[in-house]
Structure 1
Amino acid sequence: MKVLITGSNGFVGKNLIAHLAERADIEVIPFTREDSVSRLQELVRDADFVFHLAGVNRPQTPEEFITGNTDLTQALCDAIVASGKLTPVLYTSSSQAELDNPYGSSKRGAESALLALKEQHNSPVYLFRLPNVFGKWSRPNYNSAVATFCHNIIHDLPIQINDPEALINLVYIDDVIAQFVATMDGPLSNELFVNVEPQYRITVGALAEQLRAFRNSRSSLITEPVGAGLVRALYATYVSYLPPASFTYGVPKYADPRGTFVEMLKTRDSGQFSYFTAHPGVTRGGHYHHSKTEKFLVIRGKACFRFRHILSGEYYELFTTGDEPEIVETVTGWTHDITNIGDEEMIVMLWANEVFDRLRPDTYARPVGIQA
C-alpha cells in the first residue's frame, strides 16, 4: 500500500512516518515544503491513501494562510480528480475552523474543497478538527505551548503565562496517530468529521506546574503518577526534549563498612525503590516494623534471610540467590535480617511500601538472634 503524506517533515508527519515504518505493508510517498505543488499529480497517481497534513499556521503574511491551506488543498483535490482514482484523503484541519479568523477561514476553505471532492468525485474524505496536539518532535515556540514549556523548563529558560487560569484542549500525538492508522486501515464509522480521543483539558498554570514537577523529581526522587492519562503523555513529551547530556542524573549513595545503600525512586502513595550491597559475611537489618512492608530481590550473590516473631519467638530462615530470582517479603511484627553467605559482593533490590520518614521511620532495632 502506497501512502502519500503531505507535510511529511512536520511534527505530525514525522510521528506518522515513524509508526508506518514499523509496518512492512506500507510504502510512504513524502511531500514537503521543498516540493513543487505541480508534483502532486505525479505523486497522487501512485498513492492508495493520502494523509494531507501540510499547512500553514504561522505565516509571514495573512495571505499565506490561503495559499498554504486552502489553495494547496484545492490543488490536491484537482490532482485526485485528474488521476481518475477514488483515493481516500485524511485531512488535519483545526478546531479553529469554527472561528472567524484568517487561519480558521483558510482551514474551512480547505475543508470545503475536500467536501466537494467527496460529493463530486466520491473520494472518501476524513476531516480531523484537531485541538492542540502535543508530543515528541513538536517544535518549541511554534507548534504548541507544551513544546515551548518543556524546552524552556529543561533549559532553565523563563516561560510566559498571561493567564494561568486559561484552559487549553489537548490531544496526544500517539492517540492522533493511532486514530489516523485505524482510519486508513478501515474507518470505524462513516462520520465525515472524526474525533481523536481522549481529549484533555488543563489550565496553562497547571500545565506549567506539572512540567516543573517533572524537573524537580530528579532532585526529590519523587515521581509523578506517570503511568496513565494526561500525566503519562506529558511526561513522555517532557523527556523527549532532554538533550543527550541530560539523559543521566545522580542519586544519593550512602556507604559504610557493610556496603552501600542507594535510593532510586520514590512515589507519593506507593513507597520507594532502592538497592543495597553487602560484602561477604555481612549482615544487614536486624529490625522490625509495625506497618511498613518490604520486598527484597537478590540480584547478585547468595543470601540468608532470617525472621523471628517479636512476641512468640517463632523463627524462620530461607535462602535465595541471584541465579534464581525470588521475592522475599518482610512481614509486620517479625524482626528480620539478611546475610551475605557467598564469596562475592551481594546486590539486593528493595521496595518499601512507604517513603522513609526520619521522624516516623517505623523501624525498631531488635536482633534476630541465633536459632535455639
Structure 2
Amino acid sequence: MLRLAVTGAGGFLGWHVRVLLRALGWPEPTVVTRADLADPAAVAAKVAGVDRVLHVAGVNRGEPADVAAGNVQLAAQLVEGLRRAATPPGSLVFANSVQAGNGTPYGDSKATAASLLADTGLPFDDVLLPNLYGEHGRPYYNSAVATFCRVLAEGGQPEVHADRQLDLVHVTDAAARLAGVPAGGSWDPAMPPLRVGVRDLAGRLAAMADTYRTGEIPPLRDRHEVRLFNTYRSHCFPAHYPIALPRRADARGELVETVKAHGGAGQTFCSSTRPGVTRGEHFHLAKVERFVVLRGSAEISLRRVGDTEVLRFPVRGDEPVVIDMPTMWVHKLVNTGADELLTLFWTNELFDPDRPDTWPEPVEETSTAPVAVGA
C-alpha cells in the first residue's frame, strides 16, 4: 500500500482514483486542493514524506488563454510546494494527455506543465492519457461519452457533427495506472483502449439506451461494453428507477419477467431474508447487479462512494420492480416486513471468489466527507 497525495481529487479522474483506493483498503489519500496550491507552505506540509504525488488537477475547457495559463500555473504552484517539502515525496506522477505538444493551447500547456514537473528532480512518471470515460463524467466537459449518455438518459438523441476515431480508456484503468495499482481486479493499468468512431459510439449508446428503457439488459460482450453500459446507467440513476416489471396472470397464478438479457454471461441468485435482517453493505466497480423483491417488503438503500446522501427505495413483492445497483454506489437491502423476504439477484457475470468485485462498506456512514464530481 502506498501513501498518496492527490491534486484534483474532486474531479472526474481524481474521484475515481479515490474510489479505487477505497475499494483496495489503501490509506485515504492526502487531498491537495486548489486553495492549497496557492500556498507553497500548505503544499509542502501535505506532500512531505508521501510515497507518490499524483498531479491530476488541470483545466480542460474554457477560453484558450485561460486553459493555457491554468495548466501551467497549477504545475508551477505544485513544483514550488514540492521544493519546500521537509521530506521529499518518493515520486511524482502527472496525468498528462496524448494531446501534449500538439500546437493547441491545451496541448502545449500540458507539455509545459510536464517540463516543469520533470525539473523537480523527483522520480517522474509522465502518463499520456487518451480520452477517458466512465461513471459520473460531466456532460459537455469530460467526454463525448458523458454528453451522449446524458442526452439519452433525458430522452434525446445524440448529435454527431463530425465523425472521427477515438481511443477511449475507462477511467478506473487510468486511476490504476496513476496510482500504481497492479492488475488483478476489474481494472487494468495497461489501459486497453476502445477504438471507435464518434458516430459508431453514439449508435452503440443509443442502442443500449433503447434496450434498457424497459429494463432489458443489452448485449454486454466485452469489458468496454459493460463499462459503457455502467456509464450510461450512472446518468439514469436515480430518476429512472424503480422500473416496473411486466406481469402475466391467469387462473394458475402470476409470472413476472425479472431479467431479459440480450446475450452475454450472467448468474441468478434467489435468497430468503428474515425480518429485520440486512444484506449487502458493499459496492462494485464493474459488476451489473439487479435486485427484485418477489415476496415481502424491503427497503433498498444506496450511497455514492465518497458522498453522504443516502437514497432509499421501498419495494414490495406484490408490486415487483427492478432496482439495478449503479457501480461505485454502496448498497444494502433490509427486510422491513414481519414475514420472510424473497429476493432475486442477477449479475452480468459468473461469481468468481478470487475476483468477486465486492468491496465492503456500510451505507450509513455519516463520517464520510462529501466529494463532488467535477469540482
Scaled by the length of structure 1, what TM-score is found? Answer: 0.64
Corresponding letter in the other structure for 2:31: P
Matched, 1:110 2:109: no
Q: Is the 8 A contact 1:266 1:272 kept in 2?
A: no
Q: Is the 8 A contact 2:49 2:89 kept in 1?
A: no
Q: CA deviation at 1:245?
A: 3.1
Could you tell me how far apart the structure 1 residues matched to 2:224 and 2:103 are?
A: 30
Corresponding letter in the other structure for 2:53: V
Could you tell me how far apart the structure 2 residues matched to 1:272 and 1:220 are?
A: 19
Could you tell me how far apart the structure 2 residues matched to 1:272 and 1:94 are?
A: 36
Could you tell me how far apart the structure 1 residues matched to 2:28 and 2:147 are?
A: 33
Corresponding letter in the other structure for 2:177: Q
CA separation of 1:238/1:127 partners in 2, compared to 1, >3 Å: closer, same or farther? same
Higher relative contact order structure (alpha carbons within 8 Å, sequence separation ≥ 6) = 2
1:58 matched residue in structure 2: 61
CA separation of 1:247/1:104 partners in 2, compared to 1, >3 Å: closer, same or farther? same
1:93 matched residue in structure 2: 96
Could you tell me how far apart the structure 2 residues matched to 1:273 and 1:126 are?
A: 41
SS of residue paired to 1:140: coil
Q: Provide the aligned C-alpha RMSD in A.
A: 3.2
Could you tell me how far apart the structure 2 residues matched to 1:98 and 1:176 are?
A: 20
Q: CA deviation at 1:173?
A: 1.1
Could you tell me how far apart the structure 2 residues matched to 1:261 and 1:18 are?
A: 39
Among candidates 160, 179, 194, match of residue 200 of structure 1 = 194
Q: CA deviation at 1:247?
A: 2.4
Among candidates 77, 80, 83, match of residue 79 of structure 2 = 77
Scaled by the length of structure 2, what TM-score is found? Answer: 0.63
1:21 matched residue in structure 2: 22
Could you tell me how far apart the structure 2 residues matched to 1:9 and 1:104 are?
A: 22
CA separation of 1:70/1:15 partners in 2, compared to 1, >3 Å: closer, same or farther? same
CA separation of 1:155/1:179 partners in 2, compared to 1, >3 Å: closer, same or farther? same
Matched, 1:4 2:2: no
Could you tell me how far apart the structure 1 residues matched to 2:229 and 2:265 are?
A: 20
Matched, 1:236 2:230: yes
Q: CA deviation at 1:257?
A: 0.2
Corresponding letter in the other structure for 2:132: V
Could you tell me how far apart the structure 1 residues matched to 2:266 and 2:252 are?
A: 22
Q: Which has the larger radius of gyration?
A: 1
2:276 matched residue in structure 1: none
Could you tell me how far apart the structure 2 residues matched to 1:129 and 1:250 are?
A: 44
Aligned residue pairs total 266
Q: CA deviation at 1:221?
A: 5.9
CA separation of 1:6/1:101 partners in 2, compared to 1, >3 Å: closer, same or farther? same
Could you tell me how far apart the structure 1 residues matched to 2:265 and 2:237 are?
A: 30
SS of residue paired to 2:48: helix
Among candidates 153, 164, 167, match of residue 166 of structure 1 = 164
CA separation of 1:34/1:247 partners in 2, compared to 1, >3 Å: closer, same or farther? farther
Corresponding letter in the other structure for 1:253: R
CA separation of 1:157/1:220 partners in 2, compared to 1, >3 Å: closer, same or farther? closer
Could you tell me how far apart the structure 2 residues matched to 1:50 and 1:211 are?
A: 35
Could you tell me how far apart the structure 1 residues matched to 2:117 and 2:226 are?
A: 35
